[in-house]
């Protein structure tokens, strides 16, 4: 039996990247956590600490009827792969069924970009996941956090909070991210890419 190259890529595990301490709440680098928190709220799938998975975890069925698992690794960003690998091993999830959500400085605030695969692009959380899964063939949703304005270092920019002028765009992009993920669960990642990759919120 030949494999179907047109098979839909449907996420089974959705991972949001961030750092676990309260001081990192609502920072640019934690936008992946924020999206998973929003999914957990909208889908009524409360996250609970799971020591085996080294993260906050939940599983359930979305309003659209898709079975899905949510994960926020509590390992700190640069060891996120340990937590993701623990879940994929336990549930026998293939890398192509893992959707990772993370921040991207190369995209402006108010933009998102979904892709089927790719390199880490300098993101330490993604480097860790690629190393632990032994593959970069897994989908990802990048959320724009914008570049630093030159006065700040890159580290202080990504670990800083969004500016007041960006709050509304950030709230809207969380809403759009949920819609993009819900579409990917129903119709596959590529459909979601086609619909949402050109989306932009002005602020």
Q: Which residues are catalytic?
A: 29
Region of 121 (left: φ > 0; alpha: ψ -120 to 50; beta: rest) is left
Pick from 197, 173, 200, 172: nearest CA to 184: 197
Q: How far apart are the first and last CA of the chain?
A: 51
Specify the 3-state DSSP secondary structure of 139.
coil
3-state SS, residue 52: coil
Locate tokens 């690794």: which residue?
73
CB–CB of 182/148 below 8 Å?
Answer: no
Q: Are strands 55-61 and 48-50 parallel, antiparallel or unpaired?
A: antiparallel
Q: Identify the H or E element spanning 115.
A: strand 112-115
């Amino acid at each position: 039996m030949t494999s179907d190259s047109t098979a839909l890529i449907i996420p089974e595990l959705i991972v949001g990247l961030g750092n676990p301490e309260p001081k990192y709440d609502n920072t640019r680098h934690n936008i992946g956590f924020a999206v998973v928190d929003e999914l957990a709220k909208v889908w009524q799938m409360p996250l609970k600490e799971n020591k085996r998975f080294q993260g906050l975890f939940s599983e359930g069925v979305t309003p659209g009827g898709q079975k899905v698992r949510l994960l926020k690794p509590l390992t700190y960003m640069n060891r996120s792969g340990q937590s993701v690998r623990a879940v994929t091993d336990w549930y026998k999830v293939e890398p192509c069924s893992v959707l990772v959500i993370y921040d991207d400085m190369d995209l402006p605030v108010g933009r998102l970009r979904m892709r089927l695969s790719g390199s880490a692009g300098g993101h330490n959380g993604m480097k860790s996941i690629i190393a632990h899964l032994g593959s970069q063939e897994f989908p990802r949703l990048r959320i724009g956090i914008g570049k630093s304005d030159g006065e700040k270092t890159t580290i202080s920019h990504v670990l800083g909070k969004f500016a007041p002028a960006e709050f509304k765009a950030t709230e809207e992009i969380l809403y759009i991210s949920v819609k993009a993920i819900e579409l990917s669960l129903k119709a596959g990642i590529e459909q979601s890419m086609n619909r949402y990759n050109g989306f932009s919120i002005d602020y």
